[in-house]
A and B are shown apart, each in its own frame.
Chain A
């Protein structure tokens, strides 16, 4: 393996590690202001929504709104399964199965 590649992955590793490590290492020793703590409490739901919804309703580069994606169509029954079972495993299998079946119909 070339030293160029090693430099590349070490650099990538370092810049990936620092944002993960600095807050956990330093913030875990102090009491954060209540307002910041309440804000951080809302971060998980905000990240997941900001990750998932744009992926489901946009497509192409540059991205445009697209409500006809099979991923979006399958997302609704998958959401129902998740709400009903609250099980990661069952939701995974159900979502995969429905997406696979939809592909079999040849509609998309």
Chain B
């Protein structure tokens, strides 16, 4: 009990900066707690990537640099299979750009939540935007307070897990079966749960259904992964249209 009072006093004694530091630490811890399932899910995926990259002739160091600089699951898989097929660097870079263009939407969506925050810290967060970190951060933001520190922390640990697991996969992956214990289902299970977090009312359910339908149609007719952007943009637009339609008809009912 005495210890508790001493701690309390020392926090007060440390003043504003001490408290700020304490809160930052709390934010980092919150980020870790939110992101650990993603890190678990990244391991089989990262190992699988490492194995594939190693087969395409990349060493552990090569893999480290790619994961460290690019951090894009599907983008890296596609890049490595293109390299294996002998594609030119320019073709690989252009494809990577197309595949990762969807992050534009995610970055814009996050900008609404973090208006006015420090630009250097926002730039740091931007480095780690992928489907998974975006989904976790958004669900936390909608659930309540989610500091920029927590968001950066969560995103960074996912990034670290990705870099680590891809390098490990390149070095030791040959000895590990990626299907053991159903780990190849980890990311799907996570996406299902992250989608559930987003379904906060009829409008979101209808938007999701529209996006699923548009995405599936696009997937059937367009090769590659453009279906994600086509589906998302169509779905969100249909959702917005429905929302405005409902608001307009509600107004009319009230006026009559």
B interface size (C-beta, 8 A): 101
Segment 100-125 of B: residues with Cβ below 8 Å from A: 100-112, 114-117, 119, 122-123, 125
Q: Is the CB of B126 within 8 A of A82?
A: no
The distance in angstroms between the C-alpha atoms of A38 and B199, with both chains bound, is 15
Is A7 interfacial (CB 8 A cutoff)? yes
Q: Is the CB of B41 within 8 A of A92?
A: yes
The distance in angstroms between the C-alpha atoms of A43 and B239, with both chains bound, is 10
Q: Is the CB of B126 within 8 A of A24?
A: yes
Chain A residues lying within 8 Å of B61, measured Cβ to Cβ, are 1
Least Cβ–Cβ distance between A39 and chain B, in angstroms:
5
Q: Is the CB of B215 within 8 A of A49?
A: yes
A interface size (C-beta, 8 A): 77
The main secondary structure of chain A at its interface with chain B is helix
Q: Is the CB of A92 within 8 A of B37?
A: yes
Q: Which of B41, B66, B203, B236 contacts A12 (CB 8 A)?
A: B66
The distance in angstroms between the C-alpha atoms of A51 and B131, with both chains bound, is 9
Q: Which residue of A lies closest to B212 (CB)?
A: A53
Segment 188-213 of B: residues with Cβ below 8 Å from A: 188-199, 203-204, 207-212
Q: Is the CB of B191 within 8 A of A99?
A: no
Q: Which of A15, A88, A99 contacts B190 (CB 8 A)?
A: A88
A83-B196, A88-B37 known; A16 vs B96 contact (CB < 8 Å): yes
